[in-house]
Chain A
Amino acid sequence: MKPAPFDYARPATIDEAVALLDDDSIVIAGGQTLVPMLAMRMARPDRVVDINNIPELAGITDTGTEIVIGAATRQVDVLNSGLVAEKLPLLRKAISFVGHTQTRNRGTVGGSLAHADPAAEIPLASLAMDAEVTLKGAGGERRIGVDEFLVGPMMTAREPDELLVSLHYGLASGTRVGTGFHEMSERHGDFAMVAAAARLELDAGGACTQAALALGGVDARAVRIPALEAMLTGQAVDAALIQRAAQEIPRAIDPGDDQHASADYRRRVAVALGERALTDALEDAKGTAA
């Protein structure tokens, strides 16, 4: 359980870091997922590029139209941010389920997203929030949606010479926005067996103008449930409609069997947690949340 030898680089700028990235190098930020992979020798890079000393990669900024979070921002800083609590409540709810104090003190939001574990909470919440990411490579910078970024288990659209620079979360247009997050795991802080992130926007008359439900742990990556979202959009959402729409969930996911839970059990839990997350989001949007 000791890593194989590698060279180590500590660039001071994004451009310096990008120049060091290729097929044989790997980025370390918080190291909370990379170091176990190095120790188990599932990852054997020639070079580890440490991005912890690049100040512009860390921080949370409100541009007026979106919140930009630097990829190397620690999870603890996002969890404790007043700006995130006010403007991105779903991300805050999700991060409260991520690991433990010791891992959140080192782990970064960009690291979790770039690792792309199918059961991880940060990619899940980011997908439900229609977040985007900025990637910078030798050929320049590009910005893509999280839906395009997440490809499969531990697979993303990032090219080997690209660095994940920042995450972008659009601000809600309406005032009646509600969110909900539910998770089932063996112990709090463990990876989710199933997790659900929901977001609803209502107009003044109470009709749903936008619905998002994302589920984690039930497919090769976090997934949205478009058929369910279509059933809620434009409607006066209530408990009966949520229950009916949740019946779309088992058809839209493809969970696996493992020692924690069977695929069939995960399907049933996904329906239950999807309903709960949407119910919380509805109460939150109506201002009646407990």
Chain B
Amino acid sequence: MSSLEITVSVNGNSYTETVEPRVTLVDFLRDKLALTGTHIGCEHGVCGACSVLLDGVPIRSCLMLAVQADRRAVTTVEGLTQEDGTPGLLQDAFRDAHAMQCGYCIPGMLIASEALLCENTDPTLDDIREAIGGNICRCTGYVQIIEAIQLAAERLREAGR
């Protein structure tokens, strides 16, 4: 079972690595690239914790083989920070709205929210619920997560973005 060489852009950096075909994208990100911000929850596409952006659209990285990401661009939760590594606008809003309890689902929630806010900085409650509908929070802290997304949207609108 031969390994393959792939080149993937992750958060703007290009990585060339050799991987076995059976390695999922989330295992590649965590084990090969040491980008452990992306979490593994259910590992079969139900919980949404492993969400990343693939060429700008949200996907589940446990349901994609790393070899399928060859020559594609991936954004993980680490890519949502500012250039100096401090939290970005969306991450700040999650902190300010107390959206984190245990925090396990938050990388996936942030990615789903980022995808929503890139398309629409004035989402309705239904838009927000639909956007995070594929992400499970076992602490059931959805109310604060929704408030955090509303806060981030408000700050984006104030900033004229």
| Chain A residues engaging chain B, CB cutoff 8 angstroms | 1-8, 10, 28, 31-32, 35-36, 38-40, 48, 50, 52, 76, 99-103, 105-106, 187-189
CB-CB under 8 A for A102 and B44, given A5-B22, A8-B21, A35-B65: no
Contacts of A52 in B (CB 8 A): 68
- Chain B contacts with A in 129-143, Cβ cutoff 8 A: 130-131, 133-134
Chain B stretch 43-82: residues in CB contact (< 8 A) with chain A: 43-45, 48, 51, 54, 57-60, 62-65, 67-68
A5 and B20 in contact (CB under 8 A), knowing A100-B133, A101-B115, A101-B134? yes
How many pairs of residues, A versus B, come closer than 8 Å at their CB atoms?
Answer: 90
Chain B neighbourhood of A101, CB < 8 A: 58, 112, 115, 130-131, 133-134
CB distance from A191 to the nearest CB of B (A): 11
Q: Given the known A-B contacts A7-B2, A101-B112, are A106 and B48 also in contact in the complex, defined by CB atoms under 8 Å? A: no
A2 contacts B22, C-beta separation under 8 Å: yes
Contacts of B112 on A, CB cut-off 8 Å? 101-102
Contact B22 A3 (CB under 8 A): yes
Q: Please, which residues of chain B bring their CB within 8 A of the CB of A100? A: 48, 133-134
Cβ of B125 within 8 Å of any chain A Cβ, yes or no, is no
**Residue pair A102, B22 in contact (C-beta under 8 Å):** no
6 smallest beta-carbon distances between A and B, as pairs:
A100-B134, A8-B21, A36-B44, A5-B1, A3-B22, A1-B43
B4 at the interface (CB under 8 A from A): yes
Contact B44 A40 (CB under 8 A): yes
In the complex, whether B24 has a CB less than 8 A from a CB of chain A is: yes
- A39-B64 contact, Cβ under 8 Å, with A6-B21, A100-B133, A102-B51: no
